[in-house]
Structure 1
Amino acid sequence: MTMRNIPDDPDCTGIYRVTADGDCVAAVATRSFISVPEVRARLSALLATEARRLVFTILPMGEDPNAEAISDDAVASGAFHRTAVPEGTVEVRLLERIALTLPEDVVLSTTDSIWDLGGDSLLCLELSEAITDMWGVEIDPVDIFRAKSLARLADDIEAKR
């Protein structure tokens, strides 16, 4: 496994490797708060790869990235963020709506949760109202915050339609 350093960035540092099928597996330590979609966008630009080809983990503050952090065993543990594009109208419209509240250069994934977005109670309340306006269903802001992923939230919306 050939490990490389992620190019210099003011907000994060880390290591990555390229798999045999061309995916980038990365471990990132952030220097300040940036959301998962912001990390995804940053890595995509820094590594000159498509976001869908990224598999990454964000290490706790102060933890140094090492080869074990990007090993096949670490990836298999499931603690990595994978990029998944929206499938279906509800997922597409949900991600489009959420993107309105985020910085312009973020890359959203249906695997992201509200927590990954840096979401708070205000975002959950705003999103709850938007869901009611868009689909005529009520999803409690607490349920939005607890949803494991945006895909799961879209499933909940579809189930209530």
Structure 2
Amino acid sequence: MATSEKQVMVVGIDEYDHSTYALQWTLDHLFANGPNPSFKLVLVHAKPTAASAVGIAGPGAADALPVVDSDLRKIAARVVEKAKEICTNKSVNDAAVEVVEGDPRNVLCDAVERHHASMLVVGSHGYGTIKRAVLGSVSDYCAHHAHCTVMIVKKPKIKH
């Protein structure tokens, strides 16, 4: 049975260049002439919790949380504003934007489930094996756990 409902594409966004590149690449290649009639675009930013960002316990830690949370909110607002600006510059004005508190791995996989997305787009930091093993890769995690197609957009290496 054919349905006229658009498929959903979730794009993970954050404050790093790889994320900006992945969004721009997606818009350039899949939304080249403005909105894509096949996809509803949902941009998702995972805002860390203040406690996870501080990562400390003990006297004084609680005092830092409101300041850290305020900074995280400002970062999230900048991320969202930049993403909206990129979309507008590419004539995509109907993208939905969400800021969800939590670990990006879980936030993105949950967004895929919640929106019944058929595609998830994430950028790649380009970490080496050791750094990726220590920090954990959001793109690796999503590739294995998201219940949809996952496109990992890698920023080309700059040649000297």
Q: What band does the TM-score fall into relative to the shorter chain?
A: under 0.3
- Which structure features the higher share of strand residues? 2
